[in-house]
Structure 1
Amino acid sequence: MIPSSTPPRLILASSSAYRRELLARLQLPFEAIAPNIDEAPLPGEAPQDTALRLAREKAAAVAARAPGALVIGSDQVATLDGMQIGKPGDHARALAQLQLMRGRRVVFHTALCLWDSRAPDPARAVQLDNVQVFVDFRDLPDAELDAYLRIEQPYDCAGSAKNEGLGIALLERIVSDDPTALTGLPLVALTGMLRRAGVSFFGL
């Protein structure tokens, strides 16, 4: 924990509107800065390793431009049978994803990094965690999957479904220690990291 008389500058290393909305729940002042890094997985890289590496790289990229700040990086990788499921980008790919996942369990790895650029020792500057969410998809017909996609158009979401919206109707079960992890920013884990970095809540 780094003692300070004033609250540290808090930065979310993300351009994601979903992550901004989640972080705003904590009622802490923060900025959002896009990290602008290459998010492609490395050859042979395990899904959880991809998520952890990218969360750290996002935080590091922004921390390098913001001395003295606390920087939050997060990344999510969805997997089915150990294979990565990315953001579909369009309707056809999204429908193919949902067809593949129906009646199946998908694992979402949501990695979180808090980079404290105030720390004099780089080894102590980084807190890193991977929060897993297990999601069972309902076995629904093509017509329902297609109709859902046309209504919500979740083409920027890994797994092609917004659980915080109508996409919840596609799901049978969600199993996780952190309900916000599936949306993209694990707030239970993050508040623990922030407390360890000396951030106070409730105006105290």
Structure 2
Amino acid sequence: MPDSSQRPPRLILASSSPYRRELLERLRAPFDVAVPAVDETPLTGESPEATALRLAQAKARAVAAGLSGGERALVIGSDQVATYDGQQIGKPGTHEKALAQLQDMRGREVLFHSGLCLLDSHSGDAQCVDVVTRVRFRNLPDAALDAYLRTETPYDCAGSAKAEGLGIALLDAIESDDPTALIGLPLIALTRMLLAAGYPLLEAR
């Protein structure tokens, strides 16, 4: 039997998001999914960056707290906050709220803060980063926005548009150092963290 001390640490994605799960699968490393119980309400006066980072770390720590003490795990927490004109934009939840979001954002630049945290369950050490994506929305008429929403129903996405799908047609430009950050999980930042934590991402497993 292989020595358990030589095995890679267990990877756990602390998220209910199917988008983050699909992105993490690109790394071809085995992982588990655990849904953290975290209140995602922003704190009074909290900046979008601070909200994204706080919630990413809170999600990772909530899942790590439920693990048994024997096994080392690397827990991935992530959260995304969209903002323009100093106000935070959450997940719309309904068609009416999503349409109102898209109407407000058309022709504007919106910043998406993707908070990412990799937590070592043994040491408690956390690597955290905020990856910022600048998105410029096209100035489209109400009918086009309504048709998009009814086609893709992106009511669980901050900003009401899925850039990995038809929502790309609503966008005029995307600027980011990490191309998957807008979808929900910055993979360039995550792979940097995994390698720093000693995870054998590019070795035979």
- Partner Cα separation in structure 2 for residue 32 and residue 128 of structure 1: 19
- Partner Cα separation in structure 1 for residue 115 and residue 43 of structure 2: 16
Deviations 1:63-88 (A, max 9, x none): 11124211000000000112101111
| 1:44 paired residue number | 45
1:103 aligned to 94, 107, 114, which one?
107
Identity %: 66
User: Any unmatched runs of 5+ in structure 1?
Assistant: none
| 2:117 paired residue number | 113
Structure 2 counterparts to residues 60-99 of structure 1, below 5 A: 60-66=61-67, 67=69, 68-99=72-103
3-state SS, counterpart of residue 79 of structure 2: strand
Contact 2:194 2:201 in 1 (8 A): no
User: Any unmatched runs of 5+ in structure 2?
Assistant: none
For the pair 1:129 / 2:140, whether they are aligned, the reply is: no
Aligned partner letter, 2:78: S
Which is further off, 194-203 or 163-172? Answer: 194-203
Aligned partner letter, 1:88: P
Return the offset for 1:143: 0.7
Please give the TM-score of this superposition, normalised by the length of structure 1: 0.94
| 1:167 paired residue number | 167
Return the offset for 1:12: 0.3
- Partner Cα separation in structure 2 for residue 24 and residue 136 of structure 1: 28
Deviations 1:100-140 (A, max 9, x none): 00000000000000000122xx4xx1100000000000000
3-state SS, counterpart of residue 59 of structure 1: helix
3-state SS, counterpart of residue 10 of structure 1: strand
- Partner Cα separation in structure 2 for residue 81 and residue 200 of structure 1: 42
Return the offset for 1:195: 0.2
3-state SS, counterpart of residue 84 of structure 1: strand
Give structure 1 regions of 4+ aligned residues with deviation exceeding 3 angstroms: none
Deviations 1:39-80 (A, max 9, x none): 101111111101100000000000111242110000000001
Aligned partner letter, 2:130: N
- Partner Cα separation in structure 1 for residue 8 and residue 168 of structure 2: 37
Aligned partner letter, 1:180: T
Aligned partner letter, 1:29: P
Aligned partner letter, 1:79: T
Structure 2 counterparts to residues 7-46 of structure 1, below 5 A: 7-46=8-47
Please give the TM-score of this superposition, normalised by the length of structure 2: 0.94
- Partner Cα separation in structure 2 for residue 185 and residue 103 of structure 1: 26
- Partner Cα separation in structure 2 for residue 65 and residue 136 of structure 1: 40
Contact 2:82 2:113 in 1 (8 A): yes
| 2:146 paired residue number | 146
- Partner Cα separation in structure 2 for residue 48 and residue 131 of structure 1: 9
**Structural RMSD (CA):** 0.9
